[in-house]
């Protein structure tokens, strides 16, 4: 796994989800002001036969730690269907929010587009394993 504290996550064949190494972003628009804001997301590919796999308690704990760094989640069931998940740090009521309506999972953004949209804040660090391999 990458540089994260993800050791408590189950293997993909058991959890039915895979964390994508490539960060991405979603754009949210304020309903009152119309102001757009880009938010970095971690992409989680979920087996469409196990659509609730993203609710795994270990994954939710991991997502909470990402949210504390300003990173939300984009749960992808396939190349066109996605669900934006915002952990409690993103919500004034301190609740988990899952937003399916209005989520467009078109083509994946290029890393240059991600870096530009996030103002250079996109982060993806890969650390070598104990054998010096990445």
CA distance 72 to 24: 10
Express each pLDDT in 99-134 by its tens digit.
986 665 555 666 666 666 667 655 555 455 555 544
CA distance 12 to 16: 5
- Number of structural domains (the chain) is 1
Within a domain: 78: yes
- Domain residues for the domain of 88 are 12-117
- φ/ψ region of 119 (left if φ > 0, alpha if ψ in -120 to 50, else beta) reads left
Cut 0.85: pTM above it? no
DSSP output for 52-67? TGGG-HHHHHHHHHHH
Express each pLDDT in 48-60 by its tens digit.
999 999 999 999 9
Within a domain: 2: no
């Amino acid at each position: 796994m990458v540089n994260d504290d993800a050791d408590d996550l189950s293997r993909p064949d058991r959890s039915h989800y895979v964390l994508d190494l490539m960060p991405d972003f979603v754009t949210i628009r304020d309903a009152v002001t119309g102001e757009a804001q880009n938010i970095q997301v971690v992409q989680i590919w979920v087996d469409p036969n196990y659509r609730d796999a993203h609710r795994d308690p270990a994954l939710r704990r991991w997502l909470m730690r990402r949210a504390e760094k300003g990173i939300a989640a984009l749960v992808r069931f396939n190349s066109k269907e996605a669900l934006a998940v915002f952990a409690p740090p993103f919500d004034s009521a301190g609740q988990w929010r899952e937003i399916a309506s209005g989520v467009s999972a078109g083509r994946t953004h290029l890393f240059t587009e991600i870096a530009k949209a996030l103002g250079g804040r996109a982060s993806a660090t890969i650390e070598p394993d104990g054998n010096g391999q990445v």
